[in-house]
Structure 1
Amino acid sequence: MMKRLRFAAVLTVLTAAGAADAAVTILGDGYARKCYEAAEFNRAGRAAFADCDSALKFDKLSSSERAATHVNRGILFMQGRDYANAIADYDTALGIDDDLAEAYVNKGIAVLHRGGSETLAVDLLSQGIALTPSRPEIALYARGVAHEKLGRVREAYDDYRQAAALKPDWAQPAHELTRFKVIEQ
């Protein structure tokens, strides 16, 4: 039970610190920009969803902007713990641009939150990492959580260590590392 509670706390940190930081930037003004800002600054609400929906319906978006808007709306769904709709938006984004690192990273985090599919989460997060996301420390940290849930302690440790090295001022990976004892062989 204690382990489950600790993972819930870690996943809460991922939602607060992770997903919003993996928003995809939209330049200019218009609904798509407002959708991006809502995702980036953790402002999920009716107005934010309306902006995202309006961007997809009315804004003249390039395919990359359309994919980014789906990722950003997915982040808003994830902030509201609506993982099914978040995953659907990430899948739509990947259908438009299958090289969009943030779509893989955020989908991996959503799958991890939903539970029961940690192997899929590791695969998605690894794909995102390979595509060089804007915030690789988030992907590494989330993959560490997934590895740990799968009992892959060494891989979890390595991911937490890399996340801490990339973002030394982010306390959560460093905190996770304090739970490990490294034994020289």
Structure 2
Amino acid sequence: MHKGLTGVLAGAAALVAVGLAGEARGEAVTVIGGGMAEACSKAALDGEADLRFEKLCSQALETELLSPRDRAGTYVNRGVMKLRRMSWDTAIADFNQAIRIQPDLGEAYVNRGAAAIGGRRYADSLADLNRGLELGVDEPAKAYYNRALAHEGLDDPKSAYFDYQKAIELSPEWGLPREQLTRFTVTRR
């Protein structure tokens, strides 16, 4: 991951109701340097979803001179807020824009995958989640958790089980994957 003044990546949970056993999780991008883009980043990382914070992100995109990484991160952060409000298509539009600007930003792919899960397009989500994991994200446990949800949506409980396990391995203190595994019964043949 790139670390520096203009784009330290970090994750924040985006609550997305998907109608499965759990909720997809998104990741925000930290933008440093002051101004509205940084305030947008802080709001996304703090779990905000209110429209006033989304407007702050939009203002930053319209008026601030941002590096490509911070501009892409601001699109991701605005998209994460849209995920929290279950606005799948408009969130996907923001993640698409982030990917156009910064194609190596793993969080954009993971979040686009989460939005696809929210829209019950499970097969579509897998390619994005896999790409996000390939590129690297600050909180890969969330990507594995999302991929587990997608596998469950595709009636592939074995793959879902292993991805929940991986999420626990990467983030042992995070309770959601462990809760999901309580629904599984493992039998040996």
Change (3 A) 1:183 1:9: closer
Decide which moves more: 168-177 or 135-144: 168-177
Q: Which residue of 1 aligns with 2:54?
A: 49
Distance in 2 (alpha carbons) for counterparts of 1:45 and 1:181: 40
Distance in 2 (alpha carbons) for counterparts of 1:8 and 1:146: 9
Q: Which residue of 2 aligns with 1:168?
A: 172
Change (3 A) 1:29 1:157: same
From 112, 119, 125, the counterpart of 1:107: 112
Distance in 2 (alpha carbons) for counterparts of 1:50 and 1:178: 40
The runs of 4+ residues in structure 1 deviating greater than 4 Å are: none
Query: How well do the aligned residues superpose, as a CA RMSD in angstroms?
Result: 1.6
Change (3 A) 1:126 1:67: same
Larger proportion of helix? 1
Find out whether 1:93 has 2:98 as its counterpart: yes
Q: Which residue of 2 aligns with 1:73?
A: 78
CA deviations 1:77-110 (Å, max 9, x no partner) are 1111111110000000001111110000000001
- Note the C-alpha offset of 1:184: 2.6
**TM-score, with normalisation over the residues of structure 1?**
0.88
Q: Which residue of 2 aligns with 1:183?
A: 187
Bigger relative contact order, structure 1 or 2 (CA pairs below 8 A, ≥6 apart): 2
Q: Which residue of 2 aligns with 1:152?
A: 156
CA contact (8 A) 2:20 2:153 kept: no
Q: Which residue of 1 aligns with 2:126?
A: 122
Q: Which one-letter code corresponds to 2:93 in the other structure?
A: A
**TM-score, with normalisation over the residues of structure 2?**
0.87
Could you tell me which runs of 5 or more consecutive residues in structure 1 were left unpaired when the two chains were aligned. Answer: none
